[in-house]
Structure 1
Amino acid sequence: MSHEPETLRVGGYDVPVVTATTVVVGTGSAGYCAADRLVQFGHDDVVMVADKVNAGASRNAGSDKQTYYKLTLSGGDDDSVREMAQTLYSGGAMDGDNALAEAALSARGFLHLVDLGVPFPQNRFGEFIGYKTDHDPRRRATSVGPYTSRTMVERLEKKVRADGTRVFDECRVVDVVTAPDPAGEPGARKVAGLLVLRTDVPHDGAASPWLLFRCTNLVYATGGPAGMYATRVFPNGQWGASGAAYRAGVHGKNLTEWQFGLASTKPRWNVSGTYMQVVPRFVSTDADGGGEREFLTEAIPDYGRLMSLVFLKGYQWPFDIRKARDGSSLVDLLVYRETVLRGRRVFLDFRRNPVQDEFDPSALSPEAFEYLERAGVLSGTPIERLRRMNEPAYQFYLDKNPYVDLEREMLEVDVCAQHNNGGLAVDAWWQSNVAGFFPVGEAGGAHGVYRPGGAALNSGQVGATRASQFIAARRDEKPSDEAAFVDAAAPVLGAALDLTARATGRAASGTPDNTGDLLRDVQRLMSEKAGPVRSAASIAEALDQVHAWLTAYDDLVSADAGSRRAVNRTFLVRDILTSAYVYLSAMADYLAHGGRSRGSVLYTDADGDLPLVGYGDDAQSELDLPDLYRFRLDGGALDEEVQETAWVAPGGDVPGSDDGTSWAPVVPRDGADLAGVPVFRWRPRRPVPADDDFFENVWREFRDHGNVY
Structure 2
Amino acid sequence: MEEKQIIIRGRSYPLFRCHTLIVGSGAAALNCAYHLVSFGVRDILVVTERLGGGVSNNSGSDKQTYYKLSLFGEGQDSVYDMARTLFNGGAMHGDIALIEATLSAQEFYHLAQIGVPFPHNAFGGYVGYKTDHDPKQRATSAGPWTSNQMYQKLLIQVRQQGTEILDGFEVISLLTVGEGEQKRAVGAIAIDKNKASSGLDSLVVFQAENVVLGTGGPGGLYQTSVYPKDHLGSTGVALEAGAAALNLTEWQYGLASIKFRWNVSGTYQQVIPRYISTAADGSDEREFLNESFPSFGKMGTAIFLKGYQWPFDPRKIENYGSSYIDLLVYQETVVKGRRVFLDFRRNPAWKGGAELRFEELESEAYDYLHKSAVLFGTPYERLQKMNPMAIQLYAQHGIDLAQEPLEIAVCAQHCNGGLLGNIWWESNVKHLFPIGEVNGTHGVYRPGGTALNSGQVGGYRAAQYIAECYRESTVTAESFLELAGPALERSVGLAEGALGRVASPNGRIWLEFREELQARMSRMAAHIRDAAQIERALAEAQAQWEAIHRFEFRLEDPARLIEYFRDRQLCLTQLAVLHSIHAYLQRQGGSRGSYLVVDPQGSASLEQLGPEWRFRPENAELRQWVLQYQFDSRTHHTAWEAVRPVPEDHFWFENVWRSYVNKEVFRDSADSR
Category of TM-score, reference length = shorter chain: over 0.9
Q: Which residue of 1 aligns with 2:671?
A: none
Tell me the residue number matched to 2:411: 416
Alpha-carbon distance in 1 for matches of 2:148, 2:317: 32
> What is the Cα deviation at residue 226 of structure 1?
0.6
Q: Are the equivalent residues in 2 in contact too, given 1:280–1:349 (CA < 8 A)? A: yes
Residue pairs, 1:208-219, within 5 angstroms:
208-219=201-212
Q: CA deviation at 1:511?
A: 3.6
User: Residue 229 of structure 1 contacts residue 417 of structure 1 at CA under 8 Å; is this kept in 2?
Assistant: yes
Equivalent residues of 1:507, 1:558 under 8 A apart: no
**8 Å Cα contact 1:431-1:438 kept in structure 2:** yes
**Does residue 1:464 correspond to 2:459, yes or no?**
yes
| AA at the equivalent of 2:579 | S
1:173 aligned partner: 171
Determine the C-alpha separation between the residues in 1 that align with 2:157 and 2:23.
17
1:707 matched to which residue of 2? 665
**Match of residue 152 from structure 1:** 150
Q: How does 1:516-527 map to 2 (within 5 A)?
A: 516-527=511-522
Whether contact under 8 Å (1:325, 1:611) holds in the other structure is no
1:399 is aligned to: 396
Q: Tell me if structure 1 keeps the 8 A contact 2:93–2:643.
A: yes
Q: Deviations over 1:146-194 (max 9, x none)?
A: 000000000101111111111112122211110116xxxx553011111
Contact 1:11 1:491 in 2 (8 A): no
Residue 132 of structure 1 aligns to a residue in which SS? coil
The letter for the 2-side match of 1:275 is: Y
SS state at 1:208 partner: helix
8 Å CA contact 2:510, 2:555 repeated in 1: no
- Counterpart of 1:624 in structure 2 is 609
Structure 1 residue 188 corresponds to structure 2 residue 146: no
Distance 1:509 1:640, change over 3 A: closer
1:184-583 matched pairs, under 5 angstroms: 188-204=182-198, 208-326=201-319, 327-355=321-349, 356-400=353-397, 403-511=398-506, 514-560=509-555, 562-564=557-559, 566-583=560-577
| 1:375 positional shift | 1.4
Once residues 485 and 653 of structure 2 are traced to their aligned partners in structure 1, the CA distance between those partners, rounded to angstroms, is 52
Distance 1:701 1:489, change over 3 A: closer
Mind listing any 5+ residue stretches in structure 1 that lack a counterpart? 613-621, 650-675
CA contact (8 A) 2:425 2:462 kept: yes
In the alignment, the residues of structure 1 paired with residue 484 and residue 197 of structure 2 have an alpha-carbon distance, to the nearest angstrom, of 20
Structure 1 residue 708: Cα displacement = 4.2
1:81 aligns with 2:79: yes
- Indicate if the aligned counterparts of 2:628 and 2:638 stay in contact, CA closer than 8 A: yes
TM-score by length of 1: 0.91
Q: Write the mapping of 1:672-683 to structure 2, written as runs, cut at 5 A.
A: 676-683=634-641
Give the secondary structure class of the aligned counterpart of 1:6.
Answer: strand
Deviation at 1:44, TM superposition (A): 1.1
CA distance in 1, matches of 2:20, 2:196: 28
Relative to 1, partners in 2 of residues 1:506 and 1:131: Cα closer, same or farther, differing over 3 Å? same
Please state how far the C-alpha of 1:516 moved relative to its aligned partner. 1.2
AA at the equivalent of 2:209: T
What secondary structure, in the 3-state scheme, does the structure 2 residue paired with 1:21 have?
Answer: strand
User: CA contact under 8 A between 2:2 and 2:18: conserved in structure 1?
Assistant: no
Task: Give yes or no for the alignment of 1:698 onto 2:664.
Answer: no
Query: 2:40·2:467 contact (CA, 8 Å) conserved in 1?
Result: yes
Q: Report the CA distance between 1:297 and its aligned residue.
A: 1.8
Contact 1:359 1:380 in 2 (8 A): no
The structure 1 segments of at least 4 consecutive aligned residues displaced by more than 6 Å after TM superposition are none
The residue aligned with 1:36 is 34
> Secondary structure of the residue that 2:639 maps to in structure 1?
strand
The correspondence for 1:633, drawn from 614, 617, 635, is: 617
Alignment partners' CA distance in 2, 1:584 and 1:630? 22
User: Contact 1:281/1:349 (CA < 8 Å) preserved in 2?
Assistant: yes
AA aligned to 2:234 is A
Task: Look up the equivalent residue of 1:289 and give its one-letter code.
Answer: G
2:60 is the counterpart of 1:62: yes
Contact 2:169 2:193 in 1 (8 A): yes
Q: Is the 8 A contact 1:11 1:486 kept in 2?
A: no
Answer yes or no: is the 8 Å Cα contact 2:589–2:619 preserved in 1.
Answer: no
Map Cα deviations across residues 247-266 of structure 1 (whole Å, 9 max, x no partner).
11110100000100000001
- For 1:73 and 1:135, locate their aligned partners in 2 and report how far apart those are by CA, in whole Å: 18
Gaps of 5+ in 2: 668-673
The alpha carbon displacement at 1:635 in A equals 4.9
CA–CA separation in structure 2 for the residues paired with 1:548 and 1:626: 33
Q: How does 1:596-675 map to 2 (within 5 A)?
A: 596-608=590-602, 622-625=607-610, 627=612, 629-649=613-633
Indicate the residue corresponding to 2:25 in structure 1: 27
Q: Secondary structure at the match of 1:22?
A: strand
The CA deviation at 1:570 is: 0.9
Instruction: Choose from 669, 682, 687 the match for 2:645.
Output: 687
- In structure 1, what is the Cα distance between the partners aligned to 2:494 and 2:665? 47
Q: For residues 488 and 626 of structure 1, what CA distance do their matches in structure 2 show? A: 60
Letter in 1 for 2:401: L
- Deviation of 1:555 after TM superposition, in Å, equals 3.0
- Give the match for residue 107 of structure 1: 105
Q: Using the alignment, how far apart are the partners of 2:619 and 2:181 within structure 1?
A: 38
Note if contact 1:197-1:211 (Cα within 8 Å) is conserved in structure 2.
yes
Query: Aligned partner of 1:61: which letter?
Result: S
Would the alpha carbon gap of residues 57 and 335 (structure 1) be closer, same or farther in structure 2, given more than 3 Å must change? Answer: same
Letter of the 2:373 partner, please give it: G
- Partner SS, residue 48 of structure 1: strand
1:290-332 Cα distance to aligned partner (Å, 9 max, x none): 1111111222131110111000000000001111222110001
Counterpart AA for 2:609: D
For the Cα contact (< 8 Å) 2:196–2:561, is it kept in 1?
no
Taking the aligned partners of 2:474 and 2:5, their CA distance within structure 1 comes to 16
Amino acid at match of 1:595: G
| Superposed displacement of residue 490, structure 1 | 3.2
Which residue in 1 is equivalent to 2:12? 14
Please give the alpha-carbon distance, in whole angstroms, between the structure 2 residues aligned to 1:626 and 1:163: 62
Contact kept, 8 Å, 1:141 with 1:454, in 2: the verdict is: yes
Instruction: Tell me if structure 2 keeps the 8 A contact 1:204–1:562.
Output: no
| Cα-Cα RMSD | 1.6
